[in-house]
Structure 1
Amino acid sequence: MLLNKRISISYFLDLIKWDILAIALYAIFAGSLDHYGILQRISIPLAVSSLVATIVSLLLAFRTSQSYERWWEARLIWGAIVNDSRTLIRQVKTFLPEEVNEFAHRQIIWCYALSESLRGLPFSEKVKAYLSVYNTDSRNWPNFLLNKHAEVLAAAQQLNPNRQVQIDATIARLCDAMGKCERIKKTVFPKSYSLLIHFLIYVLMTILPFGLEDRTQWMEIIIVFVVPVLFIAIERTAIIMQDPFENKPTDTPMTAISQTIEMNLLEMIGEEVPVQEVQEESYYLM
């Protein structure tokens, strides 16, 4: 949801307003002519509408399940990033204390840079200021920062090889988490699947009034309106959940998680934890 706000009904209705308008117009048109016009003579068995509705229900169930799985996987990945960030600094603080401040600040910036890269946003001033010290132009700054972790670790001659392996394993898990995020971001949900479901919902809407036996015009209009709108709402819910890194209210709250990591790591190295400012409107919180 939006920071300090809940996703309002108006926000969700705005996503499907044109579908609602089209369905409402058709429901009034078909419901009226089915009672008083030439469409009154058309009769389609209700079993046909039931069959189409069953097919749509099965497709929507699968679509919603797959979308939620992507969204939940993204949340699990960022939960692992929180744990591995804490683990990394704890290991460095124990095994390589003279480098712990550098590691902590670099890891904080890595979290912010990864979240902003996934959302396709320009880097924040905090990230820009930190990256400006590197005289290079990287296409993947989060990966660049992880490489800096590894370079400092490799140059630590006084570090026990066994301890070095432990820290490197933590860095590898962070790299693995970054790769999983990039996989979710770049794997597009098949558009044809959405078009098929949307098409079938409109087919159901088209044939539904001709199978109803209700003698009340307004009741028929309401049924023809409500049933397709419910299916459209479920479909839209699946669509907005399928991409958890698109800077939408249903996003994984990466900025809030990064702020939590920042507070935790600064506390671990004994630095003052800054008061977090109110986030920009472009960020969202779960």
Structure 2
Amino acid sequence: MRKSLKKNMIDYNPKAWFTFIFRFHKADTVRKLFPMFIALSAYSALIAFLELELLRISPNSDLKQITLIHSLLGFVISLLLVFRTNTAYDRWWEGRKLWGGLVNNSRNLSLKLAAMLPASNTASREYFRLMIPNFAFSLKNHLRNKFVVEELQLPAGIQLQADKHIPNQVAGLIMAHVHELYRQGQLSGEQLITINAELQSFTDISGACERIRNTPIPFSYSVFIKKFIFFFVMTLPLGYVFTLHYLIIPVVVFIFYVLASLELIAEEIEDPFGLDANDLPTDTISANIRKHVAEIL
């Protein structure tokens, strides 16, 4: 019995505000950052105790002037995080467009083959009915560095080599069968040219998805943002404790939550082909391709 496909993208109602506020799920940044919340609370409480109770530093001391530096750096860090999240979302959206193109090209190729192939050639129709969706499933698992042969529906006599590029093998088998039909005279040269764009698009989409997966944000940029957030938050209690007193504890935790959450969200969506909660629903898309191709052919 075939196992149901797991949805890795969260379904939600964007108008349900109160549901969002009180809902926690496995992708929620609160869960990931909670240990840091505890550490920052203890750190902020320690700084407040030292400055207010133990050392009794004057509220007019030079330490209070550090708040001016935070005012200036706050604008800089906001620009960096906006650029970071926008860049990550562009990668996520480009991945979604590529998979949308794969859906359309799979349907178009199926429609053209259904119209071009003789009705008597049931073997070729069955071959393409299986192999066209196989490309989507093989690409999905290839982008996750997996080879799940159980998800592929291979025609009799067809075997794939797990140590080689699986999507390329599937696309090559489809191309080879099309050209064999041309040599047999069941497809004309004009028809071959007509379906060439869809055949070529498979490897184009595969290469574009690999470019997104294999080219993360530059290491130095990612490290700089993390260090910037860390030192910005760790120096907050030094100056603001004179104004907020022990209220500095929840304030520092909340500021860290906002800044670090933006960075965590960007990290999660910059590679949209994995199994994170906010990644693309490639399992569902692949299953829909198989369903629609089967309906056409």
Contact 1:19–1:232, Cα closer than 8 Å, also in 2: no
> TM-score, normalization: structure 2?
0.82
Contact 1:59–1:197, Cα closer than 8 Å, also in 2: yes
Match of residue 149 from structure 1: 174
Aligned equivalents of 2:148 and 2:207: distance in 1? 19
Aligned equivalents of 1:2 and 1:186: distance in 2? 21
Aligned equivalents of 2:94 and 2:10: distance in 1? 24
61 and 223 in structure 1: CA distance in 2 versus 1, 3 angstrom threshold: same
SS at match of 1:148: helix
What is the aligned-residue RMSD (CA, Å)? 2.4
Contact 1:241–1:250, Cα closer than 8 Å, also in 2: yes
Match of residue 275 from structure 1: none
1:121-136 mapped onto 2 (5 Å cutoff): 121-127=146-152, 130=154, 133-135=157-159
Q: Which consecutive residues of structure 1, in runs of 5 or more, have no partner in the other structure?
A: 270-286
Q: What do residues 60-111 of structure 1 show as CA deviations (whole Å, max 9, x unaligned)?
A: 1110000000011111100010000000011111112422221121011111
* Structure 1, 109-118 or 216-225: larger mean CA deviation: 216-225
| Counterpart residue identity of residue 148, structure 2 | F
110 and 38 in structure 1: CA distance in 2 versus 1, 3 angstrom threshold: same
Q: What do residues 232-285 of structure 1 show as CA deviations (whole Å, max 9, x unaligned)?
A: 11111111111112221121111100111111111112xxxxxxxxxxxxxxxx
Q: Give identity over the alignment, percent.
A: 25
Structure 1 residue 214 displacement after superposition: 5.4
Match of residue 234 from structure 1: 262
146 and 10 in structure 1: CA distance in 2 versus 1, 3 angstrom threshold: closer
| Counterpart residue identity of residue 14, structure 1 | R
Structure 1 residue 149 displacement after superposition: 1.4
Alignment of 1:17 onto 2:34? yes
> TM-score, normalization: structure 1?
0.85
Aligned match of 2:196 in 168, 171, 177?
Answer: 168
Contact 1:44–1:210, Cα closer than 8 Å, also in 2: no
Q: Which consecutive residues of structure 2, in runs of 5 or more, have no partner in the other structure?
A: 1-6, 13-19
| Counterpart residue identity of residue 226, structure 1 | F
Match of residue 292 from structure 2: 264
Runs (4+) off by over 6 Å:
3-7
Match of residue 280 from structure 1: none
47 and 131 in structure 1: CA distance in 2 versus 1, 3 angstrom threshold: farther
* Structure 1, 208-217 or 186-195: larger mean CA deviation: 208-217
116 and 207 in structure 1: CA distance in 2 versus 1, 3 angstrom threshold: same
Aligned equivalents of 1:28 and 1:130: distance in 2? 63
Q: What do residues 121-151 of structure 1 show as CA deviations (whole Å, max 9, x unaligned)?
A: 3404132x62883355251111111111111
1:69-148 mapped onto 2 (5 Å cutoff): 69-97=90-118, 98=121, 99-127=124-152, 130=154, 133-135=157-159, 137=161, 139-148=164-173
Match of residue 4 from structure 2: none
179 and 215 in structure 1: CA distance in 2 versus 1, 3 angstrom threshold: closer
Contact 1:2–1:249, Cα closer than 8 Å, also in 2: yes
Contact 1:52–1:200, Cα closer than 8 Å, also in 2: no
Structure 1 residue 182 displacement after superposition: 1.1
Contact 2:8–2:281, Cα closer than 8 Å, also in 1: no
Match of residue 247 from structure 2: 219
Equivalent residues, number:
268
